[in-house]
Structure 1
Amino acid sequence: MDLSFPTIFLLPAHFEADELPELESQIPTLTYDINEASIVLGKVAKKARAVLELRSRKLLTEEVQSAPHNGEEDGGFGGNTEAIDDSVVRVVRLEWFTDSLAQGKVLPVSDYLVYQGRKKAPTSGQPVSKAEGILKRAREDDTGSRPSSQHQRPARVRRPHLAQESTSEHERAMTLPPLPDYLHKQYSCQRPTPLNAPNSAFIEQLKKMRTLRTLESDEVGVRAYSTSIAAVAAYPYLFSSVSEVARLPGCGPKIEELYKQWRDNDCLDDVREAASTERMRVLLLFYEIWGVGAKTAHDFYSRGWRDLDDIVEFGWSEITRVQQIGVKYYEELQEKVPRAEVEAIANTILEHANEKHEGFQMVIVGGYRRGKASSGDVDVILSHPDPLVTEFFIGEMVRRLEKAQYISHTLTISDANSERGQAAIAWKGEGSKAGGGFDTLDKAMVVWQDPNWDKTKAAKNPNPHRRVDIIISPWKTVGCAVVGWTGGTTFERDLRRYCKKVKGLKFDSSGVRRRGDGGEWVDLESDADGNPAPDMLTAEKRVFENLGLEWRPPEERCTG
C-alpha cells in the first residue's frame, strides 16, 4: 500500500551505522535538505533537544502551540498531504513513522509530536567567509529525494527553481529511452556499473561535492552523494535533458539542479569556489596526505599550518609516524601507478610467497581489477589451499620483502584473522561495534620502492615510492575476500546491506555469518559435495551465486 507521507528529514543521531540507511530506504518522501521538510523524524523525545537539532542545522523557528484538532486536520497528515502549511516544521518521534507503516496508514502526529515551530528567516549577523559559505552549502545540499523502489510512489518534495527547458529539450524529455530494469533495484550490487560511464564528467563533479561533505564529517551527506553517484554511473545513456536525471534512484531536485549547473558551466559553483578559497585548498591538501582524515586536516589548519613545509617546520614532532611518511613522500604517493607497474609489484610479492611455500595464488584487486588505467595504490590478495600456510604468514611475508629491500616502510601490520583461528569475524548481535571490512583479514600496509636501478646513471634510487596493501586470506573464504576488496565503495556498502536485509547474513571480507541463531559461519564457496573451490576466481563466482546475485565482472562494479 502506498502511504502519502509528507516530506521527511531524518535526524541521524543515535542510529547504528547499519540502521540508518535501512530506515532511509523505507521513507518514500525522504529529503536531505531540512528546509524542505514538513516532518523532522528522529530518536528525540524532549522539546529542548528538538530545538537544538533544528538550530544546529541553521533552521530557526518560533514555537507554535498545538491547537485542539481532530481527524486529519490536526496537523497529522492523516491522508491529506496537500493541506500542509509549508511554514511550519514538526519534530516527531520515530515511532510515528514505524507505527504508520505497521497500521498501513499515515497516523496523526499529535501523539508523537515533540515540537512544532514556524520557520523564521536567518537573522543578519557577521558576514560569512567564502570558505564557511562553501561548507554551509555543501552541508545543506539535498543530494536525492529518496532511494529507489519500483513499488514506491514519487516523493512529494519541493523542487528548487529550474530555468525553463527549451522546446527541443522538452521534446527530448518526452522521448527518453526506457529506464533499464536494473535501475529499479535498490542495491547497487544488483546493477552493472561500468568504469567508463557516459556521464563520467558530471560524476567527477559530484565526487568533488562528496569530498566537501567529507571534510565537514557529514556522513549522511556523503552517503547521499554516494547513492546518487552510483545511480548516475549505472545509467547507460548520456543525459540529454535535465528531467532525465530525476528518473534515477537517489537523484532528487538537488542533483537535477547540479546537473543543469554543470551542463551550463562545465563546473559546479561550490567546486569552483572551493578551488579559489585558501581554507578549502589547504584542507584538501592536508586531506590528501596518507594517514590524514577530515578531522585531522581541520586540526592541522586550526594550528595555523597552511602547507607541507609548515607541518615539517612547526609540527613534525607532533604528528604520527605514518603521517610523517605521508608528508615525506607526498608527491610520489600522489602519482598514479600504471597497470604494468602494478603487475610487476604483485608478481614480485607472489614470487617471494612461493619461495617460502609453493602453491600460493594471487589476485590483484582494487581499482586495477575494475579496469583502471592507473591506480592510487596496489592491493594484492594472497591465499594458499593449506590453512597452516596462511596462518600468521603476513609477518613472514613482510620480513622477506624488507630483507629484499622492496619495502621501505611498514605502516601497519595485522594478523587479527590468524589470532581468531582464521575464522570469519564473529557475529555479536544487532548494534554491536564489531569490526568489519578491511580490518578483519591479515594484512600489511607498506611503502614500496623497487630497489633495482641503473647505478651508472644515478647514485640514488630514482624509483618512486608506492603504497601497497598485502592481504592474506584463508582458502575457505577467499572468494569473500576477493569480492570484498574488488568493488567500488558503494558496491561494497550495498552488498553488506543486501546481505543483511535480503539474506539475513553478515557479509565480511573474512567470510559470512548468519545473523542470529548463534551466528554460525555460512560456507558459500564449497561445491555440493563440500569440495573447496579450485581457484580464487571460482570461489568469488560461487559467492555471487550463493548470495542469489547475478555475476558482475569487476569492470561492472565501478560505483565510485
Structure 2
Amino acid sequence: MGVSSQEPLTFDLKSLPPVFVLQSHLQSDDLHKWEDLIFKLGGSLTYNATEARVFIGKVSQKKRAAFDLRAKEVWTEESDLPEVKSPEESEGGEPPRKKARLEGSEHDVKPEQRRESSSSSTTLSEATVSDTQQPHLSWPDLTNHVLVLKLAWLESCIKQDHLVPYKPFVVYTAKIIAAPQDEKPPKALADTASYVKTSPSAVPTSSSRVSNVTSCTSILERAKAEAATLPSTPTSYPTRRRYGDHGQTSPQSTKHPPKLHRTTTSEFEDLAANPLPPLPDWATGPNAAYSCCRSTPMHSPNAAFIEQLSKIKEARLLTLDDIGVRAYSSSIASLSAYPHKIRHPEEITRLPACESKIATLWSEWFASAEDDTDRHIQNVIDLDNDADLQHLKLFWNIWGVGPETARKFYFERGWKDLDDVVEFGWASLTRVQQIGVKYYDEFIEKIPRAEVEVISDVITRHARLVLDIKPEQEGTNEDVDCVIVGGYRRGKDLCGDVDVVLSHRDENKTANLVVDIVRSLEGEGWITHTLTLNTTSTDRGQATLPYHGSHRGHGFDSLDKALCVWQDPNFEATEEGAKNPNIHRRVDIIISSWRTVGCAVLGWSGGTTFQRDIRQFVAKTRGLKFDSSGVRDRGNGLVLDLEAARPKRKDAINEIYKGKIPEGKDGDEWDDGDTWQDRERRLMDGLGFGYRDPRERCTG
C-alpha cells in the first residue's frame, strides 16, 4: 500500500459522500489502514453499509459488487447515476459547494450526529470543501443511488495528491431498491474483521503516504490510542466516532470471531525434533498453481479436513459467491494432492492456493477433538444448521435446477420443499425440471461400478447394431469404441451418473450417431426420457470448435450428446400391468470423431478443477485453446493435431511444436499406436503437462 512520495498529502476527502470500504480481497490490516486513511483525510467513513452511498474496494466485476452489497443488506438494481449539475445550473449561478450529505436540511441529521464536537465531526452537513481549496470534483446526487469504485481511485488520488475524476474507476452504479419480499441477504462467509477505531489526526507528513498515515502500527498501539480518547466514566454517546458509528451492536459483532492458531513453545520444539516433510516437486516452480500439472489421488490422507472445506465451498456456491468457490476449489485441489498427513499449519501455508485462512481453519479443526472423525469447524456446523442453506440445497439437487434458480424457488416464491414445488409451481417448471422433481429420490441414489459397466455394455451393443458392426469386427479397428469417463474412470466406487464417450475411426459413422443410438435404446425401453439431444458437432461438420465465431456459448463441451433418463426394462412381473420397479438413472452419451477422441476423453475424465486448470495452463503457457472438440492456436486460430501418431523425423516434430519439443522427447521415442488411450496420452504430452492416470485427476 505504500507510496514512495516524500511530500505530505494536501488534499482531503470532505466532499466524499458517506463511504464504506468493502472487505473482499483485503486482509484485515489493509482494511483498517484504508479506513483510517479515509477518516483522517476527512472522509465520511461509515461501518453501516446501508448509510453509505460510495463503496470502495478491490472489486472489478459488477456481479461481485452487487453481491457484496446484498451481503450488507443493500439491495440494488443496476442503473445510471443522475447527471451532475453544472455550476451555471446551481442556484444563483454560484459555483456549488461539494456536499457529501444526502439530505438538504439540518433537521435530517440524526440527533446523535449533532452532538459531535465541531472539531472532529464528520457529519455530512459539515463535509464541504470549496473550489479554491482543491480541484473541483462534483459528485452526482446519490440520495437514491450508490456508486462502487475501485480502490485504485483512492490510490491514484494519493499518488497525484489531489482528487482525480472517479468515472474511470467505476465498477458498478445502481439504484437502491427495497429488499424483495421474503428475501434474505446472502450470508457473508468471509471471516469477520474486528475493528479498532483511531482518533483523527493531522494529515500525514511521513515518507509513506499510506502506511504511515496509520501511525499506530501494532495492535497494542492502536488500542492505546483508542483508549486515550475514551472517557473515564460512561457517557450517553462516544466522544469520537465515525459517520454511522452510533454505538449500536452490528450484526457481525455477535458472531464468534475466527479461532486463530497460536504457536506454542512445545510446537517449536516439536518442529525442531520433527521437521516438516519436504515439499512435493509440484508445489514449487512456475506451474505450481495448476492442478493438471500434478497427481491428485482419489483418497487423501487429509480427507476429513478436505470434507469440511468442501461444505464451505458448497455454501459459497449456493450464495452465488463465484470467487469464493474458485478459491476454495483451488485450495482443496492443492490439499488433495499433498501426500502427507498434515500435522502443522505451516505445511498448509507453503502449498499453492493455501494461505493463512486455510491454515487457521485447519488449526481450529485439529484442536476441536482428538480424532479426525470427531473434529469439526464451527463455521461448518453453523452452515449445516442453517435453514436457508438446507432449503437451497434441496432445490439445487433437483436435476435441471442451478443455484440461482434454487434461490428463486426459496426466496422469491417461498417454497420450502418438493411438495410446494408440485402444488404451487408445477406448471412453471421446465420439462427437465419436472422430470428432476419426479425422480428426485432415485437420481440422488449413487450408482455402483458394476451397474455402470452393465449400462456401458448395453450402449455399446446398440451402437454396434446401429453401425452394423459384425461379430468378427468386434475388437478390431472396424469396431466402435465406448469409453466410460467421469467419476467411474477416476476410480469412484459410487457414481452420480454414467458418462460414456463413443467414437469410430470412420468419421462418416459418427455423424448423427447420437440420434440413431438414442432411438434404438428408446425402442428397447432402456431410455425413458431424453432430457437433451444435441448434434452440435455434426452441425459444424465435426470440426473443432472455432476460436471465434457463431459457436460461442457452448462452453467447454461442444460435442454431440444425449442426456437421458435410464431404466432397466427387464423385471419379473408379479401381475399383469405391473409397474417397472427398477430405479431410474442419469446417463450421458457423448459422441466424438476419432480425430479428436483424445480431447473428448480427456475433457470428460478429470475433476472440475483439473479441467479448469487445463484450459488456463495451455492458454497462459502455450497460447492454445483446448476443449473437448480439439485444440486451436490462439494466435492464428489454426487447429493443432496433437493426437496423431508422431512422425519419426525430428524436424517434423519441431514443426508441430514450433521449435519447442517437450522435454525428454525426440523423433525416435514417439509411440505410433492408434488406440484412444494412445491418443489421449499424446495429447497430454503435447499440451505440455504430461500424462497421468485418470485416478490421479481427482481434484473435485
Task: Kindly report which structure 2 residues correspond to 1:259-298, keeping only aligned pairs within 5 A, or say none.
Answer: 259-265=362-368, 266-298=375-407
Tell me by how many angstroms 1:217 deviates.
1.1
Looking at structure 2, the residues matched to 537 and 319 of structure 1 have their Cα atoms a distance apart, in angstroms, of: 42
Relative distance call for 1:113 and 1:182 in structure 2 (3 A) is farther
SS at match of 1:469: strand
Look up the match of 1:240. 343
Look up the match of 2:501. 381
Which whole-Å deviations, capped at 9, do the CAs of 1:107-147 have from their partners, x for residues lacking one? Answer: 957699777xxxxxxxxxxxxxxx969x53325689xxxxx
Looking at structure 1, the residues matched to 568 and 3 of structure 2 have their Cα atoms a distance apart, in angstroms, of: 60
Which 5+ residue runs of structure 1 have no aligned equivalent?
Answer: 7-29, 67-88, 97-106, 116-130, 143-157
The question of whether the paired residues in 1 share the 8 Å contact of 2:527 and 2:565 is answered with: yes
Query: Does residue 177 of the first structure (1) align with residue 277 of the second (2)?
Result: yes
Task: Kindly report which structure 2 residues correspond to 1:110-129, keeping only aligned pairs within 5 A, or say none.
Answer: none
Relative distance call for 1:33 and 1:91 in structure 2 (3 A) is closer
The question of whether the paired residues in 1 share the 8 Å contact of 2:25 and 2:58 is answered with: no
Look up the match of 2:514. 394
Relative distance call for 1:298 and 1:41 in structure 2 (3 A) is closer
Look up the match of 2:453. 343
Look up the match of 1:514. 633
Look up the match of 1:419. 539
The question of whether the paired residues in 2 share the 8 Å contact of 1:33 and 1:141 is answered with: no
Counterpart amino acid of residue 468 in structure 1: V
Look up the match of 2:694. 554
Tell me by how many angstroms 1:270 deviates.
2.8
Which whole-Å deviations, capped at 9, do the CAs of 1:423-450 have from their partners, x for residues lacking one? Answer: 1100118x99543212x00000001001
Which whole-Å deviations, capped at 9, do the CAs of 1:13-37 have from their partners, x for residues lacking one? Answer: xxxxxxxxxxxxxxxxx97356554
Q: Which of 569, 579, 591 is the equivalent residue of 1:472?
A: 591
Look up the match of 1:437. 556
Tell me by how many angstroms 1:399 deviates.
0.4
Look up the match of 1:13. none
SS at match of 2:529: strand
Structure with greater Cα Rg: 2
SS at match of 1:516: coil
Relative distance call for 1:168 and 1:450 in structure 2 (3 A) is farther
Tell me by how many angstroms 1:414 deviates.
0.2
SS at match of 1:473: strand
Relative distance call for 1:400 and 1:238 in structure 2 (3 A) is same
Counterpart amino acid of residue 378 in structure 1: V
Look up the match of 2:680. 540
Tell me by how many angstroms 1:95 deviates.
11
The question of whether the paired residues in 1 share the 8 Å contact of 2:67 and 2:321 is answered with: no
Look up the match of 1:92. 152
Tell me by how many angstroms 1:276 deviates.
2.0
Query: Does residue 197 of the first structure (1) align with residue 197 of the second (2)?
Result: no
Looking at structure 1, the residues matched to 603 and 588 of structure 2 have their Cα atoms a distance apart, in angstroms, of: 14
Relative distance call for 1:321 and 1:59 in structure 2 (3 A) is closer
Looking at structure 2, the residues matched to 456 and 397 of structure 1 have their Cα atoms a distance apart, in angstroms, of: 31
Looking at structure 1, the residues matched to 533 and 512 of structure 2 have their Cα atoms a distance apart, in angstroms, of: 11
Looking at structure 2, the residues matched to 522 and 339 of structure 1 have their Cα atoms a distance apart, in angstroms, of: 35
Counterpart amino acid of residue 385 in structure 1: R
Q: % of aligned pairs identical?
A: 45
Looking at structure 2, the residues matched to 417 and 95 of structure 1 have their Cα atoms a distance apart, in angstroms, of: 49
Instruction: Using CA pairs under 8 Å that are at least 6 residues apart, name the structure with larger relative contact order, 1 or 2.
Output: 1
Task: Kindly report which structure 2 residues correspond to 1:121-270, keeping only aligned pairs within 5 A, or say none.
Answer: 135-138=186-189, 162-174=260-272, 175-184=275-284, 185-265=288-368, 266-270=375-379
Which whole-Å deviations, capped at 9, do the CAs of 1:354-402 have from their partners, x for residues lacking one? Answer: 1122210011001100001110000000000000000111111110000
Which whole-Å deviations, capped at 9, do the CAs of 1:190-226 have from their partners, x for residues lacking one? Answer: 0111100111111111111111111111111111111
Which whole-Å deviations, capped at 9, do the CAs of 1:248-268 have from their partners, x for residues lacking one? Answer: 111112211211222233222
Equivalent residue pairs, number: 466
Tell me by how many angstroms 1:244 deviates.
2.0
Looking at structure 1, the residues matched to 299 and 161 of structure 2 have their Cα atoms a distance apart, in angstroms, of: 51
Query: Does residue 496 of the first structure (1) align with residue 610 of the second (2)?
Result: no
Relative distance call for 1:112 and 1:186 in structure 2 (3 A) is farther
Counterpart amino acid of residue 555 in structure 2: G
Relative distance call for 1:388 and 1:222 in structure 2 (3 A) is same
Tell me by how many angstroms 1:545 deviates.
1.2
Relative distance call for 1:446 and 1:92 in structure 2 (3 A) is same
Looking at structure 2, the residues matched to 527 and 5 of structure 1 have their Cα atoms a distance apart, in angstroms, of: 56
Which whole-Å deviations, capped at 9, do the CAs of 1:269-312 have from their partners, x for residues lacking one? Answer: 23222322322211111111111111111111121211111111
The question of whether the paired residues in 2 share the 8 Å contact of 1:43 and 1:94 is answered with: no
The question of whether the paired residues in 2 share the 8 Å contact of 1:425 and 1:436 is answered with: no
Looking at structure 2, the residues matched to 44 and 347 of structure 1 have their Cα atoms a distance apart, in angstroms, of: 47
Relative distance call for 1:169 and 1:456 in structure 2 (3 A) is farther
SS at match of 1:317: helix
Tell me by how many angstroms 1:555 deviates.
0.6
The question of whether the paired residues in 2 share the 8 Å contact of 1:90 and 1:113 is answered with: no
TM-score (norm 2): 0.61
Look up the match of 2:232. none
Counterpart amino acid of residue 568 in structure 2: D
Looking at structure 1, the residues matched to 306 and 64 of structure 2 have their Cα atoms a distance apart, in angstroms, of: 36
Counterpart amino acid of residue 321 in structure 2: D
Look up the match of 1:101. none
Relative distance call for 1:31 and 1:496 in structure 2 (3 A) is same
Looking at structure 1, the residues matched to 400 and 68 of structure 2 have their Cα atoms a distance apart, in angstroms, of: 34
Counterpart amino acid of residue 693 in structure 2: P
Tell me by how many angstroms 1:319 deviates.
0.8
Q: Which of 442, 445, 468 is the equivalent residue of 1:332?
A: 442
Which whole-Å deviations, capped at 9, do the CAs of 1:524-556 have from their partners, x for residues lacking one? Answer: 111234998521111100101111222110011
Higher helix fraction (1 or 2): 1
Query: Does residue 407 of the first structure (1) align with residue 527 of the second (2)?
Result: yes
Relative distance call for 1:95 and 1:419 in structure 2 (3 A) is farther
SS at match of 1:382: strand
Looking at structure 2, the residues matched to 43 and 363 of structure 1 have their Cα atoms a distance apart, in angstroms, of: 42
Counterpart amino acid of residue 319 in structure 1: L
Q: Which moved more, 1:448-457 or 1:470-479?
A: 448-457
SS at match of 1:552: coil
The question of whether the paired residues in 2 share the 8 Å contact of 1:513 and 1:522 is answered with: yes
Relative distance call for 1:263 and 1:410 in structure 2 (3 A) is same
Tell me by how many angstroms 1:314 deviates.
1.2
Task: Kindly report which structure 2 residues correspond to 1:437-456, keeping only aligned pairs within 5 A, or say none.
Answer: 437-438=556-557, 440-456=558-574
Look up the match of 1:100. none
The question of whether the paired residues in 1 share the 8 Å contact of 2:71 and 2:187 is answered with: no
SS at match of 1:295: helix
